[in-house]
């Protein structure tokens, strides 16, 4: 009888251990599944690509005004061209006495002057023929994050090999559009640097005006 009692105690302990082991396995399985679910549901990085629009009246842009007295007070001559944009934004290209800049017109009609002659390149300048928009897609719509435009000096007294040229990077947000970076275009990695800067431009501050 003693042996039978001992066997029953061992069986009871064995059953308790078995239940405990199954419980531990079940808990571990639940925790692991929850962790996997959190990883699976984690937000993946947004895919960012480039879309190009014209900045010239030779392609898509329309001349909005031509003023012998200039589009800004104090300038001798000016012109303003209206160009298409991305994501409900449009662009105005202004040439004021040989100093060119862009205005971005937001979907809510707010107008933002990128002030290239003050924050990118002092003196006479011209813009590249196209704008590069860095965009992502949200709810099936293109959303611009940054804008890249080449700004080049047109000072005729400077040798061609010393002409300054920059890729001006601007951030595009609902409340603020401004230049955040100026990348020297002579660098072999300039395009890559400008795109990288544009992709994170919404987190940056606006550039301060260049000091004379």
Q: What is the pLDDT of residue 20?
A: 46
Calculate the dihedral angle through the C-alpha atoms of 59, 165, 155, 81, rounding to the nearest 10 degrees.
Answer: 30
Gap between the Cα atoms of 91 and 144, Å rounded: 13
Q: Does the predicted TM-score (pTM) go above 0.85?
A: no
Gap between the Cα atoms of 172 and 133, Å rounded: 9
- pLDDT tens profile 55-88: 999 989 999 888 765 445 554 468 999 999 999 9
Closest CA to 89 of 199, 177, 149: 177
Strand (E) or helix (H) holding 194: helix 190-199
């Amino acid at each position: 009888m003693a042996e039978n009692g001992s066997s029953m105690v061992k069986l009871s302990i064995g059953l308790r251990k078995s239940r405990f082991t199954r419980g531990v396995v079940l808990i571990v399985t639940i925790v692991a599944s929850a962790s996997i679910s959190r990883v699976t549901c984690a937000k993946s990085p947004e895919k960012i690509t480039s879309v190009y629009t014209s900045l010239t009246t030779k392609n898509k842009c329309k001349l909005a005004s031509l003023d012998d007295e200039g589009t800004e007070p104090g300038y001798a001559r000016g012109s303003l061209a209206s160009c298409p944009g991305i994501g409900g934004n449009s662009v105005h290209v202004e040439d004021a006495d040989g100093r060119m800049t862009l205005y971005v017109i937001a979907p809510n009609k707010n107008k933002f002057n990128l002030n290239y002659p003050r924050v990118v390149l002092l003196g006479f300048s011209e813009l590249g023929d196209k704008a590069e928009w860095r965009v992502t897609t949200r709810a099936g719509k293109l959303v611009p994050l940054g804008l890249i435009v080449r700004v080049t000096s047109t000072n005729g007294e400077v040798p061609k090999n010393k002409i300054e040229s920059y890729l001006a990077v601007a951030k595009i947000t609902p409340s603020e559009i401004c230049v955040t970076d100026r990348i020297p275009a002579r660098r072999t990695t300039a395009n890559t640097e400008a795109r990288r800067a544009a992709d994170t431009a919404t987190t940056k501050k606006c550039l301060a005006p260049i000091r004379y």
